[in-house]
Chains A and B, each alone.
Chain A
């Protein structure tokens, strides 16, 4: 199985994406911004369709749109009271634009399915390089910002008074989040962004007692989910996203019941 280049690509990209998603997802869940990731991925969908239309790599379009949106919509969404209706409106525009660009690009339905539900097996060597570079970049920046990020995400009420450059941290965090969304959509697709970014971190939150334990468990849950799903998908010939979704949701429900 691992002799096939497409399997090697899938394993390398999948593993790194799982690590980044678990790491960044922990802060997203702690900061209670889960729903923003979903909006960002819908905006990313518009970006990926736009990229198809322009004949770019979908990752580039996704990155461009979701990072751009995180700087504007994200800032607005952070002000919690207005966020729900605002996010609905933005999602509507994003999905609408996505459909329009898909139609304009005159690509077949496979391209759309790939963006929406992930296409890890069709990922090329160049895509793998892009994913690896981005993932490592996010991890390095995340580690360098670990201390302020941890306070920002886990106790915003006091971070507000303790961190002098909190606006800067917020913007950097949104950019990291948007990049992670764009990268992890390569595996699970933009419709299922929750299953790698939110579910493993939410499960980990049930068991971990320190921030590092939570991050470690989130990465473990994400990586195991991706690996098992890749193997199952290869043998049973069903979509990878389906298996990751079932596994991560399974881990989450077990955590929910098993640990108060």
Chain B
């Protein structure tokens, strides 16, 4: 089932078009990799999907109505990210940010425990977030997104700056979670190994147009010019 169809999507900044005529489909339960050079406007497209930015042209056609649509966002890990000495559980609970009840409902507590287990954080649930490793912290960010019970998860270069072990650990958690829940993922990544291993579809953005298709049709060699990854 398709949950989002983008057609004729274009975003213009001043005089300059970042891209035009972008078409893609987001299929339920699949992982869509959003790739393209830095500065091509991947983040603006994400913001449009999140509803924070208007498209200049085209439209995003959702099959889930606004009421039932929950899109959660996992940012890029940066070692200098602000972190207070909150314990991991409390840090993850920051995402319970709707409603006026100052404390957590029993169903929310249950959900929190469930997600902590799924993200392998139960053991360090009472440890301080600022003493956690990069991989653990990034999984805490993932947990923050997952406790909101999203139907769409956005990973915005979520594995960048993570070491080789931590990045696969994070993506395995996402994949396992997806296998047991109703979750569709959009990931922005420059990491060809990660894209090849975890993505189902791809959307390649370039200033001259876009390319959309199943991941096995992505010509990875096109993305490598010289010895550099251009994904």
Shortest Cβ gap from B76 to chain A (Å): 9
9 contacts between A and B (CB under 8 A): A143-B102, A147-B102, A148-B97, A148-B98, A154-B91, A158-B94, A158-B145, A161-B52, A161-B154
B85 and A209 contacting across the interface, CB-CB below 8 Å:
yes
Shortest Cβ gap from A168 to chain B (Å): 13
A contact face: mostly helix, strand, loop, or mixed: helix
A32 and B82 contacting across the interface, CB-CB below 8 Å:
yes
List residues 85-135 of chain B with CB under 8 A from any CB of chain A: 85-87, 89-91, 94-102, 126, 128
B72 at the interface (CB under 8 A from A): yes
A30 at the interface (CB under 8 A from B): yes
Known: A147-B98, A147-B102, A150-B94. A158 touches B75 (CB 8 A): yes
A211 at the interface (CB under 8 A from B): yes
List residues 133-182 of chain A with CB under 8 A from any CB of chain B: 143-148, 150-152, 154-159, 161-164
B128 and A209 contacting across the interface, CB-CB below 8 Å:
yes
A159 and B97 contacting across the interface, CB-CB below 8 Å:
yes
Checking A32, A147, A209 against B97 with a beta-carbon cut-off of 8 angstroms, the contacting residue is A147
Interface contacts beyond A30-B84, A151-B94, A209-B128: sample of 15 additional A-B pairs, CB < 8 Å, sorted by A? A144-B100, A146-B100, A146-B102, A147-B100, A147-B101, A151-B95, A156-B82, A157-B81, A162-B95, A162-B97, A163-B97, A205-B84, A206-B85, A208-B85, A209-B85
B contact face: mostly helix, strand, loop, or mixed: loop
A211 to B91, CA, bound (A): 9
A157 to B137, CA, bound (A): 14
A152 to B94, CA, bound (A): 9
B206 at the interface (CB under 8 A from A): no
Known: A143-B102, A144-B100, A210-B90. A161 touches B50 (CB 8 A): yes
Enumerate chain B interface residues (CB-CB to A < 8 A).
50-52, 72-73, 75, 81-82, 84-87, 89-91, 94-102, 126, 128, 141, 144-145, 148, 154
Checking A146, A148, A156, A211 against B86 with a beta-carbon cut-off of 8 angstroms, the contacting residue is A211
Which of chain A's residues has its CB closest to B89's CB?
A210
Q: Number of residues in A with C-beta < 8 Å to the partner?
A: 27
Shortest Cβ gap from A212 to chain B (Å): 8
Which of chain B's residues has its CB closest to A206's CB?
B85
Which of chain B's residues has its CB closest to A32's CB?
B82
Checking B52, B75, B87, B96 against A209 with a beta-carbon cut-off of 8 angstroms, the contacting residue is B87
A161 to B186, CA, bound (A): 15
A148 to B101, CA, bound (A): 11
Shortest Cβ gap from A164 to chain B (Å): 8
Shortest Cβ gap from B62 to chain A (Å): 16
A157 to B78, CA, bound (A): 11
B residues near A161, Cβ cutoff 8 Å: 50, 52, 72-73, 75, 154
Known: A146-B100, A147-B96. A162 touches B148 (CB 8 A): yes
A50 to B92, CA, bound (A): 46
A8 to B95, CA, bound (A): 42
Chain A CB within 10 Å — which of B73, B87, B102, B128 has the most? B102
Q: Which 9 A-B pairs have the closest CB atoms?
A: A161-B73, A151-B97, A146-B102, A210-B90, A209-B87, A151-B94, A147-B97, A144-B100, A148-B97
B81 and A150 contacting across the interface, CB-CB below 8 Å:
no
A211 to B102, CA, bound (A): 11
A157 to B72, CA, bound (A): 13
A residues near B52, Cβ cutoff 8 Å: 161
A163 to B98, CA, bound (A): 8
List residues 192-234 of chain A with CB under 8 A from any CB of chain B: 205-206, 208-211
A156 to B52, CA, bound (A): 16
